[in-house]
Amino acid sequence: MEFVALVIIAVFVILLVSYPLFGRQRQLHQMDDAFDFGDTRQFDFLNNKKASIENNLRELEFEHQMGKLSHQDYEELRKGYESEAERVYQVIDKLRIKKNIEELIEEEVRSRRRIT
């Protein structure tokens, strides 16, 4: 009886450990690798993050005007949000530059293929 219980537990543990290797999420990561959706996803994530930070800054300004935040707290939080926004803007700019360079390379390759 104990042997059967140990076998059942062992099978359960093996299935639990191996699920990430063969589950749906792994297939999605393989699709990202195969079709290069990584930059698109990252760009969408960063745009959402940028919108969230801008919304937080507006709410922070509103709460400060309503008197819910001291000036010191407002300045500290605002600086934190602005520095986070700056980092997000820099990454977005890098992704745009990378995308533009890749598009230029692809266009050059297409034009050279037409010539030959």
Given this model, what pLDDT does residue 31 score?
Answer: 44
pLDDT tens-digit profile of 14-64?
A: 877 766 666 555 444 444 444 455 667 788 888 899 999 999 999 999 999
pTM over 0.75: no
pLDDT tens-digit profile of 72-93?
A: 999 999 999 999 999 999 988 8
Q: How far is CA 21 from CA 7, 12, 14, 27, 38, in A?
A: 22, 15, 11, 9, 19
